[in-house]
Amino acid sequence: MKNSRLVSIDLGSAYTKVAIRRNWNAESDLLRDLPLASDEVDFCVPSVVARVDEGGRTRWTIGAAAAAQTPGDGVRIFRYWKARLFATGPRAQVSRDQMGQTAEAEGGENYDEVATEFFRGLRQSLEHSPYGEDIAASAVRVCVPKIDVADMDARVGSILDAAGWRPAHGRVTVYEPESNACGMFTRGRNATWYPPAASFTPRAGRSLHLMKMLEPEGLLQALRRMSGSFGVLVIDIGGFTTDFGYVQFDTSFSSNDWHRPTIVQQSYELGIRELDQAIYDSLDEGAQREIRALSPSQWDALKVDLYGGAPVTLGNGQRIGAGEGAERTVEALRNFADRVIAVRDTFLRDHVRGPVNAQTLTGGGSMIAPLHRAVVQALATDEHARVYDLLDENEPRQTLVQRGGYVDEDAVAARARRNQELVRGGSAIGGSSVFFE
């Protein structure tokens, strides 16, 4: 094991989350009340970068300040730059991250530079926050999509170096599907131990104690009843990719490390940015022009109502999302949900050989209520795989009741809050786990 304390950065296409583990056995937790976070969620930093060229000088801003910036002369806003940094798809597809504007039309950009400015701004903001000592004392690891990008560790490591971070020993990056899956099945718990020495083997060093990282309900309870393999599928719908992490626990034999599961994972370039683009493409030229004039935060606020089924009014007085527009939104959401299920089936067919006993849905995309309902309903048609819905308001109480005794209302509220954190920040929480040491 290499990093006794670690900061994990989940570089989301829409929002970035940061978590920390302060020692080997400390709980991994999200950093909250971040200076650059959005007003709506205090642990979500908009993954937006703005470059302002004025008077022969260039000024960079990131996070909420960049998301509030409106386009204009000398102002370049990078909204989905992660897609361009890591994408492996056709250029014409991945370049459409600015609602109809292409990289060719904008002259092309150095997205490694954009990434460096983002990580530098994030570090500087955290160093001047109450977390300054934590940042100074901790190595950093970044959660990245599981796609075919050459030498991901070295590339991200060089960006972190240039931005002034101290990259983690061993793995500089961890894949988002595995970090998210780890966050789900541990809920941020960390536990290590020194296994007792055997006369015929050298004394083992500090080792993972995964059994203590699982809560009494859920997976641990299921494992105690299983003989053979137990499989959990975690689905993370993000802005750039949809990630699948299949975690298989083998309970057929026992040794010091039998608790460590196998994780099969893959990311697919299917994200909410494509849903956004489908809605944008369905609008007339006047509405598209108004949307292009919005800041990223203004557009995000409108989408909350639009995807929730409510019409919205643009700056020119035009209403969108009503009548036929509402029908187009419903159709776009349904089509996107169908695509998520289709790539899930592809992942299971191509990569999974064991049973799927449980499934759970996470990611910022799952916070879109109609999309969440459609995907959960589709998952529930598999009678052999229980759906664990972290956004089910009844889950906290039902789980705590299983422990017996009095159910404290504060504990119910705390579990509900943690569920919300796991849905949006599970990758950051899992990325800092001792599981990856």
Q: Give the pLDDT confidence of 386-433 residue by residue, as tens digits.
A: 898 999 999 999 888 988 878 999 999 999 999 999 999 999 999 999
Q: Is the pTM of this model over 0.85?
A: yes
pLDDT, residue 288, reads 94
All structural domains of the chain with their residue ranges: 6-175
User: Phi and psi of 358, rounded to 5°?
Assistant: -150, 150
Residue appearing with tokens 């608790």: 259
SS (H, E, C) 360-401: EEECHHHHCHHHHHHHHHHHCCCCCCEEECCCCCCHHHHHHH
pLDDT greater at residue 211 or residue 401: 401
Confidence of residue 252 (pLDDT cuts 50, 70, 90): low
pLDDT of residue 60: 98
Q: Which residue has the tokens 């050989």?
A: 353
Q: What is the pLDDT of residue 202?
A: 74
pLDDT given for residue 223 in this prediction: 55
Window from 152-156, 252-256, 306-310 with minimum mean pLDDT: 252-256
**Cα gap 186→430, rounded to integer Å:** 8
Give dist(CA 289, CA 291) in Å, integer. 5
Average pLDDT, the chain: 89
- Integer angstrom CA distances of residue 318 from 289, 301, 322: 11, 16, 11
pLDDT at position 104, please?
34
CA atoms within 13 A on the CB side of 175: 20
Mean pLDDT of 72-93: 79
Banded pLDDT at 89 (limits 50, 70, 90):
low
- Asked if residue 315 has pLDDT above 80, the reply is yes
Long-range CB pairs of 300-306 (<8 Å, 24+ gap) are 300/14, 300/67, 303/276, 303/279, 306/279
Residue 61: partners with Cβ closer than 8 Å, 6 or more residues away: 49, 50, 52, 69, 121
More confident position, 39 or 118: 118
pLDDT number for residue 105: 36
Higher pLDDT, 1 or 167: 167
Segment 283-307 shows an average pLDDT of: 93
pLDDT of residue 258: 47
Superfamily of structural domain 6-175: ATPase, nucleotide binding domain (3.30.420.40)
The predicted pLDDT at position 103 comes to: 44
249: confidence class by pLDDT, cuts 50, 70, 90:
confident
88 CB-contact burial (10 Å; exposed 0-12 / middle 13-18 / buried 19+): exposed
Considering only residues 221 and 284, tell me which one the structure prediction assigns the higher pLDDT: 284
pLDDT per position as a tens digit, 256-272: 444 578 899 999 999 99
| pLDDT confidence bin for 222, thresholds 50/70/90 | low
- What is the reported pLDDT for 210? 84
Give the CA count within 13 Å in the CB-facing half-sphere of 340. 35
pLDDT for 143 = 98
pLDDT of residue 88: 67
- From residue 211, alpha-carbon distances to 197, 245, 249, 263 in Å are 19, 20, 11, 16
pLDDT of 219 reads 57
Q: What percent of the chain has pLDDT over 70?
A: 90
Enumerate the β-bridge partners of residue 192: 208
Residues 370-385 have a mean pLDDT of 94
Q: Please give the full DSSP string across 135-177, using - where no structure is assigned.
A: HHH-EEEEEE--S--TTHHHHHHHHHHHHT--BPSS-SEEEHH
